[in-house]
Amino acid sequence: MKLQVIAVGKLREAYYKAACDEYVGRIRHFLPLEESEVPSATSDNGNGTGKGALQTEADAILKQIPQGSKLIVLDIRGKQLSSEQLSQFLQDEMLASTNRLSFVIGGAWGLSPILLDSAALRLSFSPMTFPHELARVMLYEQLYRALCLWKGLPYHK
């Protein structure tokens, strides 16, 4: 199984980049991981709803997702899983011969209903709102933690 993380926007702060790089390196000891960034849409077509930006970002995200990939989106209204439950989810997907899991982190406007509706899982870390850069670090850390749990390594204590 391969993992893919697609994020709207670039990591601007060096400390977020360093944290992501650290966890990406750790994850790649277990599974292949591909990272993709799509540009943040700078315009919402002037209507203040973000619909134009959401569509632009969704189009760019959809181009990054290979056919047959299972889509997991980060969504504040999504399902909250414990680290153990995320580990079990990854194990179940591997046992089901899932080829690729594509995790998507949206931009400032969130994610398009097209992406939300087509997701196999809407994952929430918390009902709180986090900066998108921090959400990326948190996703990588939780993926690494889940893989350590799966392999019985002492990281998760």
CATH number at residue 98: 3.40.1280.10
Domain total in the chain: 1
Q: Is residue 83 part of a domain?
A: yes
- Whether 44 maps to a domain, the answer reads yes
Residue 31 lies in a domain: yes
Residue partners of 28: CB distance under 8 A and separation at least 6: none
Contacts of 91 (CB under 8 A, 6+ apart): 150
Dihedral sign, Cα of residue 64, residue 69, residue 74, residue 75: positive
Distances from the Cα of 75 to the Cα of 103, 116, 149, angstroms: 11, 8, 24
Report yes or no on 127 lying in a domain.
Answer: no
The overall average pLDDT reported for the chain is 93
pLDDT band of 60, cuts 50, 70, 90:
very high
Q: Is residue 54 part of a domain?
A: yes
Q: CA 57, CA 94: separation in Å to the nearest integer?
A: 29
Quote the pLDDT of residue 38. 96
Q: Is residue 27 part of a domain?
A: yes
Would 124 be classed as within a structural domain? no
Q: Is the pLDDT of residue 43 over 90?
A: no
pLDDT score recorded for residue 109: 83
Look-up: residue for tokens 């056919």? 67
Coil, strand or helix: which one is 97? coil
78-128 confidence digits (pLDDT tens):
999 999 999 999 999 999 999 999 999 998 889 999 999 999 999 999 999
Tokens (6 digits) for 66: 């290979």
Residue 98: inside a domain: yes
Phi, psi of 99 (to 5 degrees): -75, -40
Residue 10's domain spans which residues?
Answer: 2-118+133-151
In sequence order, which ranges of the chain are alpha helices (DSSP H)? 14-27, 51-64, 83-95, 113-118, 132-151
Q: Tell me the whole-structure pTM to 2 decimals.
A: 0.93
